[in-house]
Amino acid sequence: MKVLHTVAEFRQARAAFDVLGFVPTMGYLHQGHLALVEQARRECPAVAVSIFVNPTQFGPNEDYARYPRDTDRDLTLLEAAGVDLVFIPSVEEMYPPGFGTYVIQPAADEVLEGAARPGHFRGVATVVCKLFNIVQPTKSYFGQKDAQQTVVVRQMVRDLNLPVEIVIVSTVREPDGLALSSRNVYLNAEQRAAAPVLYRALRTAAERYAAGERDAETLRAVMRSVLTGEPLARPDYISVAHPLTLRELDRIGADGALLSLAVRFDQVRLIDNWLLEGEGT
Ligand code: AMP
């Protein structure tokens, strides 16, 4: 496994491979990240992973400075997973003095994570576009855990004709349903015990959908009522949206819906989602 820190070094190492799978991450790796790596390994003869805590996707009052980092442990996990190339650029390497070009999707900023975190998807789209240009992957792997990110990346690839195939991997969960996240380390014991309420709320609404409920407001109310049962949980948004436009629905139609939640436990903000398959999909 080769570990590269500059764009020039990475480009040189990348030239040894034809078909390349790519998994962009912010590090502090867990089984969710490794599921992406494993799928890439199955589908591609060589795999690259990037580790970069991207400052441009964090708001001024967010957790950029304290975002958990453990590069040595990450490298041990990636080596064991059979990764070929790891790209770990510095902030200066990615954003040198004078940097001034961004990828913007105004529609993404109007809903869900985009509305809650101004500028977040400008940072995500910009860094993913840069990484695609540096890494030149054949396929790139993203987690369903960050549902809106998958929508933004797919739209960027379509709109800008980027020559990469996007693959989405299902969310990996703890046995109690909590979606794995690097941010779970912020939870204290009491909050950790309460956190599976996101999964329970989503699952309860999904069961109602499976039983025939198609009214979106009823499903929002179902999720709200499960979340209200957990006193430590403070919902940020509770959404039943179209899976592609992410616009809030009145009724769920042939395209199905994306159920998604953002919930605060004191300072810690967790997100999770559940895709409801439509009759048309
Ligand atoms: P991050 O390091 O949080 O930026 O995540 C890197 C990639 O891993 C993103 O595509 C995430 O959606 C994905 N990911 C994070 N958590 C999970 C999970 N629990 N299951 C599947 N994929 C995940």
Encode pLDDT of 53-101 as tens digits.
999 999 999 999 999 999 999 999 999 999 999 999 999 999 999 999 9
Q: How many angstroms separate the CA atoms of 115 and 197, rounded?
A: 23
Q: How many angstroms separate the CA atoms of 218 and 113, rounded?
A: 22
Distance 24 CA to ligand 1 centre (A): 9
Among candidate residues 54, 39, 42, 57, the one with its CA nearest the CA of residue 141? 39
Contacts with 275 (C-beta within 8 Å, 6 or more apart), sequence order? 144, 147, 243, 256, 257, 258, 259
Q: How many angstroms separate the CA atoms of 58 and 126, rounded?
A: 13
Is the CB of 246 within 6 Å of ligand 1? no
Residues counted in the chain: 281
Report the amino acid identity of residue 255: D
Q: Per-residue DSSP letters for 241-264?
A: E-TTT-PBPSB--TT-EEEEEEEE
* Mean model confidence pLDDT for the chain: 97
Distance 6 CA to ligand 1 centre (A): 24
Q: How many angstroms separate the CA atoms of 253 and 269, rounded?
A: 30
**pTM beyond cutoff 0.95:** yes
| Annotation says 30 is catalytic | no
For residue 281, pLDDT over 60 is answered with no
Q: Which residue has the tokens 């009214």?
A: 215
Would you place residue 168 in the very low, low, confident or very high pLDDT band (cuts 50, 70, 90)?
very high
